[in-house]
Amino acid sequence: MVRIAFTANLRRHLPCPVLHAEGATVAEALAGAFADNARLRGYVLDDQSRLRRHVTLYLNGRQAKLETAIADGDEIYVMQALSGG
């Protein structure tokens, strides 16, 4: 299993506690997380299942893509970019 954590900005809009999921890639693990929280999917992925432009993924502290392979014990961090002044 991998651990999936979400930035506080996302947690302000909907409940998304730290989750645990399985999969061979970041996308598969996130799909497991979205199965329990369908609204969360819309904040992270667009209608084409692509990562939204304002969202960045980190795997064990390094930037990752949806197709990045994962291993048991990894940590995925979903970060939402901020803008404004």
Q: Number of structural domains, the chain?
A: 1
Interatomic CA distance for residues 64 and 60, integer angstroms: 9
List CB contacts of 32: < 8 A, sequence separation 6 or more.
19, 21, 22, 23
pLDDT surpassing 60 at residue 67 = yes
For residue 48, give its domain range.
2-80
Does a structural domain hold residue 85? no
8-64: pLDDT as tens digits: 877 777 878 899 999 999 999 999 988 878 888 988 999 999 999 999 999 999 999
pTM of the model: 0.89
Query: Where does residue 35 fall: left (phi above 0), alpha (psi -120 to 50 degrees), or beta otherwise?
Result: alpha
